[in-house]
Amino acid sequence: MAKPVPMGARGEAEETVEFEHTLTAHHPSLPPVYSTPDMIRLMETAAFHALQPFCEGDEITVGTAIHVEHRAASGIGTRVKAEAVVESFDGRFYTVRVSASDGAQEIGRGTVARAVVSLSKFVARVRKSAE
C-alpha cells in the first residue's frame, strides 16, 4: 500500500434488515431477527470502506480474521449501521475495531483483520488453485 493509513481512519455501512437478512431465511424454525453472518458482512464492508481510500492501482483489502460478538437482536425493518475504525497495523495486517447499532442499541462489536492484496494477482492465484 503506497499511501500510509492513518490510525483512526473510519468507514461505515448501513442497511435495513429485510427477510433475507434474518435467521428465518436460513431455517424456518428460527426467529425473524438479523443474522450474525449478515451483521459481520456489514462490519466487513465498513472496514473495507475505512481502508479502500488508501489503496492504489488494483489494490483492495480482504478479510483475514473476525473476532465479533453479536449482543442484541434486531428485527425486520430496523436500520443497522456498522462503523469501523483502523486501530493498528503489524506490517501485514490491519486491525479494525468494528461495531454495529440499530439506533436503539449496540447490537455487535469486535475486530476484523484485513490485508492489502493486488486484485489481479489475487484472482489469478484463486483461479490457479481451482485448476
| Domain spans of the chain, in order of start | 10-130
pLDDT, tens digit only, all 131 positions of the chain: 567 899 999 999 999 999 999 999 999 999 999 999 999 999 999 999 999 999 999 999 999 999 999 999 999 999 999 999 999 999 999 999 999 999 999 999 999 999 999 989 888 888 888 88
Instruction: Provide the β-strand partners of residue 23.
Output: none
For the domain made up of 10-130, give the CATH fold. Answer: Thiol Ester Dehydrase; Chain A (3.10.129)
Closest CA to 37 of 25, 49, 50: 25
**Residues identified as active-site:** 36, 44, 70
Retrieve residue 96's grid coordinates.
Answer: 479494525
